[in-house]
Amino acid sequence: MTQLGDVMVAERRVSGEALRLDAARVVSGLTHLGVAPGDAVALLLRTDAALLAATLAASHLGAYPVQINWHANGNEVAYVLADCQARVLIAHADLLHELDEMAPPGLAIIGVPTPEAIARAYRIPHARRAVPPGVLEWTTWLGAYGPSTRPPEPSGGSIVYTSGTSGRPKGVRRFAPTPEQAIASDEMRRVVFGVDTGARVLVPAPLYHISPNIFALRGLRLGELLVLPARFDPEGLLRDIERYRITHLYAVATMFVRLLRLPPETRDRYDTSSLAFVLHGAGPCPPAVKRAMIAWWGPILEEYYGATELGPITACTSAEWLARPGTVGRAVSGVQIAILDEHGTARPSGQIGEICVANPDYPDFTYLNDEAGRAALQWGSLLASGDLGFFDSDGYLFICDRTRDMVISGGVNIYPNEIESVLIEYTGVADCAVFGIPHEEFGEELMAVVQPVDGHVLDTAQIRAFLGTRLASFKVPRTIEVRHALPREESGKIKKRVLRDPYWANAGRAI
């Protein structure tokens, strides 16, 4: 196993050499359990050294390290375990208590005691930190094996589960790359993710998401130091940037919003001048938020747009974005993008359609147990992304929304993302979601749910009046509701489907 950089993970420093040896022991342990190339090793772990060691070991064996969203309930975890036919499950102890008796029969389970820093960050009771009786304990299991010296197997590809916003999570099985694709993909990641030799990398997002996972693993293999906090905390992030002289940071738009809401004296307290490359993606960033972050940190924000199925599609520098606010950039090398209407006909510049992509330098994929779902995405040589957007006259791409999030009211297409970008600017709004609910005459009407900043009282009539000064009247939600908590992924992304579905439950239709 190759040399690794040092890691500061969940407040514990682990040398690269110690992590490498642990990963080599995991290789021995998994081999003893019968794990072979092509098998799935499921990982139900928060950000911890065990997650890194297990990921490296499974990949070394040519197996699939399947990262499971640890927010899922026991039934959802059991579904993923059965769907990918996992041979082994490695999980934090408190999450195993949630799984209880629902694991598939014959599954080998290894429990990792939940570390103190993680327990503190997520308020996990002490009693649930210990591995349940009858389950192999990680440290004991690891200590029974010496470091493996077997050479690495060729890459078998990957299995990544989507977030399941339209139903059950889908297992995206990426095929093994050809030698040419491996070279091209590595170069693409070097350009888009920025991490190279000597980088000092910070990833405050959960590693069950594919992009922060790739960013962190590149930092581990190429960088000087990888910092993985137990949980995102805005002031803690600034503290870590200064303390560890971070050069490369991965973030999402929600993190920027929370950073900007810190008092000015708090923001000014920390030196962030070491930052050279800040990558963000995984969802739209409101223009006002991005402009404020560039003003604060300088023109070092790099944006990408991509999909689990398709890989990185576009990249955009701060300079490009400032010249064309709202763009996600132009296609990365080797990627072809077309904007198609519902009949598969290309739309001209400035007109909205579905973003469809060909990326021959990236290995192809299928959906586990759903070949029909994979086939439905194909438009000739292109694959449908499920996103709506348009090109400007210079070939810069702009994203409007997801096809499933677009609201059609009285035959007019309305894009919630546009409205959310204005709503987030209203004083006292911490976050928001806009979606369509049933309307007898128009089919759908707009609804907004807003979360207030702590201590603020929001007046929905005043919010509607504010929106009316910035948007056409048909884009102003007829209903605005204030909620003090919104359902979220750990990354901060709002689970819009959880908000939307109750309104459609008795409508007799889905749109």
Q: Are the C-beta atoms of 503 and 219 separated by less than 8 Å?
A: no
Residue 506, pLDDT above cutoff 80? no
SS3 150: coil
Query: Residue 233: CB partners within 8 Å, gap ≥ 6?
Result: none
Average pLDDT score over residue span 397-410: 78
Residue 449, pLDDT above cutoff 80? yes
Q: What's the pLDDT tens digit per position in 116-135?
A: 999 999 999 998 999 988 89
Kindly list the domain boundaries of the chain, sorted by start residue. 6-156, 407-504
* Beta-carbon-side half-sphere exposure of residue 349 (alpha carbons within 13 Å): 6
Number of helices (H), then strands (E), belonging to the chain: the values are 17, 27
Cα angle for residues 135, 138, 107 (degrees, 5° grid):
45
Q: What's the pLDDT tens digit per position in 451-485?
A: 998 888 999 999 999 998 888 788 899 899 999 88
Residue 165, pLDDT above cutoff 50? no
Fold of 407-504: GMP Synthetase; Chain A, domain 3 (3.30.300)
User: What percent of the chain is predicted at pLDDT more than 70?
Assistant: 96
CATH of domain 6-156: 3.40.50.980
Residue 167, pLDDT above cutoff 60? no
Q: What's the pLDDT tens digit per position in 237-261?
A: 999 999 999 999 999 887 898 899 8
**Nearest-angstrom CA–CA distance, 342 and 353:** 8
Cα angle for residues 6, 11, 16 (degrees, 5° grid):
15
pTM for the full predicted model: 0.82
Q: What's the pLDDT tens digit per position in 75-88?
A: 888 989 999 999 99
Amino acid of residue 452:
P
**Nearest-angstrom CA–CA distance, 173 and 159:** 4
Amino acid of residue 313:
I
Q: What's the pLDDT tens digit per position in 312-361?
A: 899 999 999 999 998 999 999 889 999 998 888 888 988 989 999 998 88
